[in-house]
Amino acid sequence: MGFHDNLYGSSYYNEEDLLQSDEYPPPLVNICARYCVNHLSKTLLEKIPSEEPIEPQISSNFTLRPGVRLPSELSEKIFCYLDKHTTTAELLRYESSSSSSSGGSSSSEDEDVEEQENNDLRLIDARGMPERVILEEFERRRVARQRRRRRRRRRRIEHNERGGRRKMLWNGYGAAEPGDPEIIPEAIEVVGFDAIVQPLFGNPSHLPLTKLNLRDSTALTDELLCKLLVHKPRELDIHDCPKLTSASLDAINSNSQNLVSLNIGSTTQLLPSVCTENDYFLATPKLMKLVVWNLNTNIPMYWSSLTGSFAVTLTSLDLSGCGEFEDFEFLRKFQRLRSLVLYNVLVSGRVVEESDEDAMEDDQCYPHFVLVLEDDGSGDENIVVHRRRLEKLVNKLVGPICQLKELRHLDISTSVDPSSSSLALSPNGNNLIGSVPLTPWSNYPNPNQILSTIVQNLPNLTHLDISGTNLAGRGVAVRGEQEAQASNTRLCDIPGLNCRVDNPLEFLGLYGTAHDASHRHCIPAKRVSGDKDECQILVACEAYIHRHEVLEKVLNDLFHLFRSERGTHITQSLRLILRAMNLHPSEKHVQISGSASLFYIVKNEQHVQGGGTEQEVINPPMKRMILSTIVNAMAIHKVDSTMARNGCLTICHFRIPQDVMFIYAKLVKILLKILGQSIGPHHRHESFVERIAIYLLNSLACQVEGWHKRLVGDLGAMKRMLQLIRDRLSRPECDDVMEIAWSTMWNVTDETPENCEKFLKNEGMVLFLKCLQTFPNKPELLRNMMGLLGNVAEVGGLRNQLMTSEFISVFCELLDSTQDNIEVSYNAAGVLAHILSDGQEAWTITTPSRNVIQESMVRNVNRWNINSTRNINYRSFEPILRLLRITHTRECQLWAAWALANLTRVYPEKYVPLVEKENGLPPLNDLINEPGDESQIHENVKKYARTTLRNVDEFNKKGKIDLSTYMDG
């Protein structure tokens, strides 16, 4: 049964679509979320004058009608999806001096687009195609039209933005990728999650919510929670919401008619700090599940006041990290309790001397259970007294648990080393011995006896977690082998669980137990969490996914598995690691251990490429999840060198930049931040982190075009690279970072005048001369620097800044260089060719003279080997083809013709198609047919032009070129 009847008449969506993962929501959720975002846009843009009201659309051709009531399951998915994609929304102001005119053109554009969409709908619908095909075709046309609009808007904005004004970027749901923003020509305020929730979910009759998952929300306030609670939800999760106060508790109590599950978690500030007898401050009569973490109080009646109103209905209670408990007497009221979590509970350990009368009253409190600890046989009177007091304490803590006959899940685990937390009485018998007076209880007296008593008194128990304790004993069987065989009972290596040998537990937590209990053989449980093997570690990772202090150790065990190539459950491990890292983004050790494991998983190429035993283990969706998680971790812990190293090394095993385009801007920002922290006398990052970070940045800048290169420059790459170069010059040291910094700027300035201008404004030429003087014999460095200057020289408006005697003299000297084959000489000639192309009138210096430069260029071009292999990458021949048309200076044509002849000869597969694509053959033919001026230079130009045409013809006929062919005239 689908939801389409409630929406728009007919649809192919069904309930199975809604069961997809949250990371990749079903199309229906996408459509409705788009409606929500458009509705928000309508709310924000009310100030923009428009003749026609903006009609919110859930798709390009469907309108969500007023009064429509979506199913609660769909409404909750929309809520969670919007929460996920808007909590990090970032709106930057866009200030324009011509906002009114831009707004008017935008309005007319919208009207034209709306009319075009209606025409498209009529045209497509007239063809009688199925609805799915109609939607796909319409969406394709809409996307293409939107891209054209964005390009037009971007050109218009860039025209008005010469004064350095910032654009408005919305990095939330529905916005364009960074660098290709939706431009709204009005300044508006930053918008948070509450601005979306109020207009969309304020009315329960439209988008009802039965489950409210608001955990980890730093923006959630009492006012917003009150507005959401009008839905009277059945489930509410407000863990880690620091802005909530006691006012939220009143709102919860007022709207608790349907509430059956409440997760307060660590948001305990909304609970009162004091209480009185029979004062039930949590008025939720139907509550079945309560989660409260890390709440510490020394008021004995507090826990009874907290849980008193729902004692009859409660079936699940989680008090992890709470304390300080003198006893668990309040648990006796929960006779329907099926799940009890007392992980890391704090036990005060106070045992007070009592009179016989008090002892008799206490005996009446234990009518069904009194635990008597075994005597050690010493007969020492003081030890006997201490043992009796210890019995008293154990009975007050363990006794009430044993009365919960319906209990199926019991967790009394800790994250504390059992050897560091001992339940032993001090000599005066009043307090526990230990370095910490208030500590989780992990080292029990007579552990075999206590565990056996607990298990025997809980007949329905299926899940038991005793991790971090000594309750598993030393592994010595209570009975001998002959006795066990006589009673037809199998042996058990955990003495306290002998009674469950024939009825094994579904789950048993043994991670971090004393004496390596998880490594034993005969364990009466179907699933065991421990560190013995991969299966136990994965079970532990799943069981303790919300406990970061234990998860750190589990992920470290998983890391050692994959480092030694013993990990086999790749898919399950990946999903657990990613989930752990996403649940605990601020826990540095979780992120470091998780990223280290991810590195060893993805470095195996067969998993990345989908080969091996598990086809497509790391498919495109999984790649996005891995990369998003790694980049987020690097962003949060950018000052940690280990996290930076793990993240960069893991990303290097993906295809750069193809796999990271969806987070391109964020990754560039992080890498620039990492590199910035390595500058100066106090380096925060090791040299290896610097090298891998700048290598990644260079790879990101190398294979992208257009606005991506401009984006890298706008984010500060040019300034950061020059800072790194200054830092190396101050040492002085020419290392990989220095060379790659110049290479990065070479790539970023390719066909990007804006970045070339940034290079000159930040004293790039001064650093060029200093590097040339300090490191004259570094061919790799010299090639990268000259390649960058070649890009700068291609920009006509910047060439005048290169016209100085100092710069031209340096370029002239480099013409004769033989370093790095011909690359340095070739790039120097290219720079001078572009400068010469401006004509005689642009030559404003006297030394060196223009004639000297021309003669040197001819001499060096003629000495180059036409078959020389190259270390250069051209994406366009437009600058070279422009030089072919310069008739007033034949030296420009000579360099350009030689370049085309060499590149099409040595790399025909790449450059022959490029010459043809950019219409380079007609100017070559024009050169050949041009009347000669009887100069040797002109003849050489024609010779190289004929060589290029022959390379093109030969490649098109044979698919290859014979390099041994003699080049004639």
Cα 396 to Cα 366: distance, rounded to the nearest angstrom? 9
For residue 533, give both structure tokens: 């093997």
- DSSP state string for 683-747: -SS-HHHHHHHHHHHHHHHHT--THHHHHHHHTTHHHHHHHHHHHHHHTT---HHHHHHHHHHHH
Beta bridge partners of 440: 346
Residue 807 has pLDDT above 90, yes or no: yes
Would you state the pLDDT for residue 360? Answer: 39
Cα 824 to Cα 810: distance, rounded to the nearest angstrom? 12
Where is average pLDDT lowest: 210-219, 587-596, 630-639, 764-773? 210-219
Beta strands in 560-652 (DSSP E): none
pLDDT band of 97, cuts 50, 70, 90: very low
Name the phi and psi angles at 464, rounded to 5. -135, 130
User: Of 322-336, 375-389, 473-487, 519-533, which has the strongest mean pLDDT?
Assistant: 519-533
Would you state the pLDDT for residue 397? Answer: 83
Residue 119 has pLDDT above 70, yes or no: no
Residue owning tokens 């790449």: 910
Cα 63 to Cα 45: distance, rounded to the nearest angstrom? 19
Cα 733 to Cα 724: distance, rounded to the nearest angstrom? 11
Where is average pLDDT lowest: 480-484, 619-623, 844-848, 872-876? 480-484
Would you state the pLDDT for residue 364? Answer: 43
Q: What is the 3-state secondary structure (H, E, C) of 664-699?
A: HHHHHHHHHHHHHCCCCCCCCCCHHHHHHHHHHHHH
Would you state the pLDDT for residue 957? Answer: 84
Higher pLDDT, 608 or 528: 528
Residue 355 has pLDDT above 50, yes or no: no
Mean pLDDT taken over the chain: 76
Would you state the pLDDT for residue 538? Answer: 96
Higher pLDDT, 424 or 452: 452
Residue 38 has pLDDT above 80, yes or no: no
Where is average pLDDT lowest: 148-162, 746-760, 870-884, 909-923? 148-162
For residue 435, give both structure tokens: 């370095």
Counting beta carbons within 10 angstroms of the beta carbon of residue 369, is it exposed (0 to 12), middle (13 to 18) or buried (19 or more)?
A: middle
Residue 431 has pLDDT above 70, yes or no: no
- DSSP state string for 500-545: GSSS-EEEEE-TT-GGGGGG-S--SEEEEESSSSHHHHHHHHHHTT
Nearest to 211 by CA among 260, 245, 257: 260
Per residue in 278-293, pLDDT (tens digit) is 678 888 999 999 999 9
**Is residue 442 a contact partner of residue 417, using CB atoms and an 8 Å limit?**
yes
Per residue in 162-201, pLDDT (tens digit) is 433 332 222 332 333 333 333 222 222 234 455 556 666 7
pLDDT band of 384, cuts 50, 70, 90: low
State mean pLDDT over 22-35: 49
Would you state the pLDDT for residue 694? Answer: 94
State mean pLDDT over 812-832: 89
Q: Which residues contact 607 (CB under 8 A, 6 or more apart)?
A: 570, 601, 614, 617, 618
Would you state the pLDDT for residue 7? Answer: 28
Per residue in 479-498, pLDDT (tens digit) is 544 444 444 556 788 999 99
Per residue in 953-969, pLDDT (tens digit) is 998 887 665 555 434 43
Higher pLDDT, 507 or 201: 507
Residue 585 has pLDDT above 60, yes or no: yes
Would you state the pLDDT for residue 534? Answer: 93
**Is residue 670 a contact partner of residue 635, using CB atoms and an 8 Å limit?**
yes
- DSSP state string for 166-185: PPP-B-STTPPPTTSPPP-S
Would you state the pLDDT for residue 199? Answer: 62
State mean pLDDT over 699-727: 91
For β-strands 261-265 and 439-440, DSSP reports them as: unpaired
Residue 866 has pLDDT above 60, yes or no: yes
Name the phi and psi angles at 265, rounded to 5. 55, -130
Would you state the pLDDT for residue 193? Answer: 53
Per residue in 304-313, pLDDT (tens digit) is 888 888 999 9
**Is residue 285 a contact partner of residue 260, using CB atoms and an 8 Å limit?**
no
Q: How far is CA 713 from CA 160, 668, 946, in A?
A: 19, 10, 40
Would you state the pLDDT for residue 526? Answer: 94
Q: Rounded to the nearest 10 degrees, what angle do helices 687-702 and 664-676 cross at?
A: 150
Cα 496 to Cα 491: distance, rounded to the nearest angstrom? 12
pLDDT band of 832, cuts 50, 70, 90: very high
Higher pLDDT, 529 or 678: 529
Higher pLDDT, 268 or 395: 268
